[in-house]
Amino acid sequence: MRRLILASASPRRRELLAQAGYTFEVQPAHVNEDLYADEDPIAYVVRLARDKAQAMYNALNDPQATVLGADTTVTLDGHILAKPEDAADAARMLRLLSGRTHRVITGVALATAAGTEVAAEVTGVQFLTISDEEIAAYIATGEPMDKAGAYGIQGLAAKWIPRIQGCYFNVVGLPLALVATMLESSD
């Protein structure tokens, strides 16, 4: 029987995998997440997902293990909006997103005894125009501080998102249909 390991500390990824009915262990992998010079956003998240999955797979030394690594980022005009460093950085990001459509990209990797498979999911997210007062009130809740792009679609920011194009779960942090397809093909 396969042993599924989630190589992520993200509570959202944990909730999504459980919601989809998977039994798994959580063992976060710690890898360098620095962006390489001129690295494309898709290449960046796929590299981090691969690094996390492979690092944890190698540490486990268990040929029955399947390790799931993932990394999500927000991009606007080709620029990555990572997790905000502080409240001012969160406000800067939210002002950039206001009234615009951006992309959320998640890299996914599955490491097994047969090797490592990688993929990426891209979702377009439209934001309404939001005021500086709304931004300040949102930041005061603390919700944006641990999220790429300084917002969570599943939280208070939902009221500013009239539509998305693509996978909702990708925006939360784990594209479930993609992960399920990868897990089924790895059996």
pLDDT at 186: 84
Residue 45 belongs to domain with CATH number: 3.90.950.10
> Active site residue: 34, 40, 71, 187, which one?
71
Question: Cα–Cα distance between 44 and 105 in angstroms, integer?
Answer: 10
Residue 71 bears catalytic tag: yes
Listed in sequence order, the residues at least 6 apart from 175 whose beta carbon sits closer than 8 Å to its beta carbon are 106, 108, 121, 167, 169
Question: Cα–Cα distance between 72 and 182 in angstroms, integer?
Answer: 17
Total domains present in the chain: 1
CB 134 within 8 A of CB 104: no
Strand, coil or helix: 71: strand
pLDDT at 1: 55
87-97 vs 132-140: helix crossing angle, rounded to 10: 140
What global pTM score does this model have?
0.93
Strand, coil or helix: 160: helix
Residue 114's domain spans which residues? 3-186
Phi first, then psi: what are they for 102, rounded to 5°? -125, 175
pLDDT along the chain (187 residues), means of 10: 89 95 95 90 96 96 95 94 96 98 98 96 98 98 94 96 98 96 89
